[in-house]
Amino acid sequence: DMALRIMRLTEVKAVTGLSKTTIYRFEKEGRFPSRVSLGERSVGWFEDDVETFLLSLKQTQNASMNAHR
């Protein structure tokens, strides 16, 4: 079981390869997990939410690759 951990934007960008703009747009479209407020001017994301996003991307990728075989 993974311990709860907050990732900051810099780390989320590094892990996902997405830009800040894309992350915020995907979040608004419901395609990316919502950020959590960490105080007045800082936000973060739960690591397991980000991981779930990446896993679902991978599954979508695998499914579309299999569909083209």
Q: Is the pLDDT of residue 1 over 70?
A: no
Compute the distance between CA of residue 38 and CA of residue 14 in angstroms, rounded to an integer.
Answer: 20
Sheet of 43-46: strands edge to edge?
A: 6-7, 43-46, 36-37
Using one digit for the tens of pLDDT, what is the confidence trace for 25-68? 999 999 999 999 999 999 999 999 999 999 999 998 888 888 87
pTM for the model? 0.84
Do residues 16 and 52 touch, judged by C-beta distance below 8 A? no
In the chain, the amino acid numbered 12 is V
Residue 38's alpha-carbon distances to 41, 45, 64, in angstroms, are 8, 10, 37
Length of the chain equals 69
